[in-house]
């Protein structure tokens, strides 16, 4: 599982590649921690190459969102595949994140 954080067009982009299962969760969480400090910009989580996500991964996303929401920062999810989208829908996370 690979996590890369970049700045793109004035936004902070987190590129996730691989399977975000429970085993990989701890490591990914650490890697995505800087996103909690974003201010004045929007966050885009790029899931184009994300094959799989478990509830542990969802928890990471939720954590980030709850932290930056009050700062007015938007969190966008980009490029989810069918399986991942399913998970989002089932858990209702599709209602709390914005997708692009």
Partner 1 sequence: MKLWVLAAILTICGTTGLMFTSCQSGARKSSSPEATDMITAASKAKDNERVLSLADSLEKAGKISKGESYYWQGHAHYQMGQREQAKSLWQEAIKVTENSTDANDLVYYAKSASYLTSQLCRYAEYAAALYTALPVINRLEKIECDTTCDYTNLLVFAGCCKAYFDKKDSTATDMLERAYRLHTDRIRQNASKKAYRDAMVGIINIAYIWNYVRGYEEGLTWTERMGDLMKEYKTLFADDENYIDKQWARYLIFYATSLEGMGRHDEAERAYGEYLQTRFSNTREGWTDANDYLTVANRWEEAADNYSSILEYLQKDLSVYSLDNIQRYLLKKYRSHQMLDQEELANMTARQICEVLDSAITNNRHLDASELQSIHERDMEIVKAEASSARQRQIYTGLVVAILIIAFTIYTVFRHRANLKLRKAHEELKVAYDQLEETTAQKAAIESDLRIASGIQMGMLPEKFPTRAERDDVQLYASLTPAKEVGGDLFDFYFRDEKLFFCIGDVSGKGVPASLFMAVTRSTFRTISAHESMPDRIVTIMNKTIADMNKNHMFVTLFVGVLDLPTGRLRYCNAGHDAPLLVGAGIGELPCDSNIPVGFMPTWKYSLQEAQIFTGTTIFLFTDGLTEAMDADNAQFQMERINDVASRALANQQQEPHQLIDQMTDAVHQFVGDAEQSDDLTMMAIQYIREQSDVLMRKNIVLANDTKEVPKLQTLVDEVCEAMEFDEKTSMQMRIAIEEAVVNVMDYAYPPGQRGEVTIEATSTDGCLKFTIIDSGKPFDPTVQAAVDTSLPARERRIGGLGIHIVRQMMDSINYERMDNLNVLTLKKNLK
Residues that bind partner 1 (CB under 8 A): 19, 21-23, 25, 52, 54-56, 58-59, 62-63, 65-66, 69, 82-83, 86-87, 90-92, 95-96
Q: Which is nearer to partner 1, 39 or 95 (CB)?
A: 95
In sequence order, the 6+-apart residues with CB closer than 8 A to the CB of 82 are none
Query: CB of residue 48 vs partner 1: minimum separation in angstroms?
Result: 17
Query: CB of residue 61 vs partner 1: minimum separation in angstroms?
Result: 10
Task: Provide the β-strand partners of residue 12.
Answer: 7, 43
Q: Give the separation between CA 83 and CA 54, rounded to whole angstroms.
A: 11
């Amino acid at each position: 599982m690979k996590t890369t954080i970049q700045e793109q067009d004035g936004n902070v982009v987190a590129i996730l590649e691989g399977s975000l299962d429970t085993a990989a969760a701890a490591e990914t969480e650490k890697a995505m921690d800087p996103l909690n400090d974003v201010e004045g910009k929007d966050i885009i989580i790029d899931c184009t190459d994300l094959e799989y996500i478990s509830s542990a991964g969802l928890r990471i996303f939720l954590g980030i969102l709850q932290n930056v929401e009050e700062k007015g920062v938007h969190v966008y999810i980009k490029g989810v595949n069918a399986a991942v989208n399913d998970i989002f829908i089932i858990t209702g996370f599709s209602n709390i994140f914005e997708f692009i």
